Amino acid sequence: MKKLMNRWHRLLHNEALKRRIYIIIFESDTRPGKLFDVALMAFIVLSILVVVAESIEGVSHVAGPYLRVMEYVFTFFFTAEYVLRLYCSPNPRRYALSFFGLVDLLATLPFYITWLFGPARYLLIIRTFRLIRVFRVFKLFNFLDEGHLLLYSLYISSRKIAVFFLFVLILVISIGTLMYMVEGQQPGTAFDNIPNSIYWAIVTLTTVGYGDITPETPFGRFLSAVVMLLGYTIIAVPTGIVSASMIQSYKKERQEEEGKAPSGQPDKAAKKSLDERRWTLLESEYLIRRPWLTARRDKVQLPTGVVMDEYYVLEYPDWVNVLAITDEGKLVLVRQYRHALGETRYELCAGVCEKDETPLVAAQRELLEETGYAGGEWQHWMTLSANASTMTNLTHCFLARGVQRTHSQHLEATEDLTVHLFTLDEVKRLLADDEVRQALMAAPLWKYVSEANG
């Protein structure tokens, strides 16, 4: 018994096995993962066909035992799949309470409920929802941005639609009551009470027109014609509201993408892949707009469906820094006080991209102003984010070889820094001794040291 418990404990904590199963079940980028998803969808479709076929009396009478055996096989497969998902998930509780986790559970649970309640078995049809997983296999999640756009448009149009619905509700109650007053006294009429008359008004106004209730009097028929014509007019209103909201949301999204596209952005295919787990912006409010601080509060919805009411974002213009090297092979650093940390440290020459200024031009300007060095051969070195979670800007790092001092410093009134030249070994010691505290400066320096060491 003890050996069995030890094996069970090792199985529960076998991270390598969990990782292999996770790649197969949750990811579709590998061949086993794609095969698993295809097999899963085949089982889903077959199980639905079995449920549908079993509901047909003639088919069930002939092939009933075979269909039940197939359902046993499907249920075993889906149960094993659900248990394995719980086993290999990094956060089983989160998966179990997620949308897909609940759908996976409901896809299996009805069969076991049939041991108590037979008719519940036909709830197995809920497996249709699991076909949503087809988006993972064919990478159709790239199109979910359009789905988010539709949901967001419905969200921002909800008040207008609610007002419109209230108007329609008042209209059908009024028309139904009026039709009861006109037709209610006719012998054998179906307009024998107000609820029936309201039902007729709803069916007629929505242009369905079942014909199960029809007016007999001339005025009743005239009113019926007016309601039918009114229905064609009304039905276009919510469509127009949502369409207008979708157009506005699309234009806003396009403007934001065009206004924030960095110079070194990836191609369209790569960008779509990166945006698969994009959050949906529901609301946005600026809290402060100052020259050196722009903060906004966003309301966002995660791909899991979780809504965060308060997510704070800081907007800054793009920054630049320069890893400048003289003809003698010395690196140009500056030393200045940083008030937030209350420390004075060594840094690279750095600054802000001015409006309508390319990062390269900004970097060359900052180097000349802060150090007096210019010239040399320039190349883009790397692009960094100070904090990708809450800050919108990027830092463009440049490597300038063979710079020379051509001018004196031209500092602003708020700048107080000194220029220092260091050999490669001295810079390595500065990095090792934590004298370069700013991460945006340390990263390009470490990269240069690493490549220089070969």
Report the topology of domain 139-260. Answer: Helix Hairpins (1.10.287)
Q: Where are the alpha helices (DSSP H) in 13-56?
A: 15-26, 31-54
**For the range 157-166, what are the long-range contacts, defined as Cβ-Cβ under 8 Å and sequence gap of 24 or more?**
157/241, 157/242, 157/245, 160/241, 161/238, 161/241, 161/242, 164/237, 164/238, 164/241
Check: CB of residue 449 under 8 Å from CB of residue 423.
Answer: no
- Residue 153 has a pLDDT of 67
Residue 362 DSSP SS3? helix
State in Å, rounded, how far the first CA of the chain is from the last one: 57
Q: Which residues of the chain have pLDDT under 70?
A: 27-29, 110, 113-154, 236-276, 454
- Residue 227 has a pLDDT of 86
Locus of tokens 């949906």: 280
Dist. CA 53–CA 187, nearest whole Å:
47
- Residue 261 has a pLDDT of 45
- Residue 60 has a pLDDT of 77
In sequence order, the 6+-apart residues with CB closer than 8 A to the CB of 370 are 334, 349, 351, 409, 411, 415, 417, 419
Could you tell me the pTM of the whole model?
0.43
Per-residue HEC secondary structure of 160-229 comes to HHHHHHHHHHHHHHHHHHHHHHHHCCCCCCCCCCHHHHHHHHHHHHCCCCCCCCCCCCHHHHHHHHHHHH
Token pair for residue 317? Answer: 């213009």
Q: Where are the domains of the chain?
A: 2-138, 139-260, 277-314, 319-452
Sign of CA dihedral 90, 390, 430, 326: positive
Q: Answer yes or no: CATH 3.90.79.10 is held by domain 319-452.
A: yes
- Residue 114 has a pLDDT of 64
Model confidence pLDDT, tens digit, residues 210-257: 777 888 888 888 888 888 888 877 776 666 666 666 666 666 655 555
| Torsion angles phi and psi, residue 169, rounded to 5 | -60, -45
Helix then strand then coil, % of the chain, to nearest 5: 60, 20, 25
- Residue 230 has a pLDDT of 83
CATH number of 2-138: 1.20.120.350
Token pair for residue 150? Answer: 């539709």
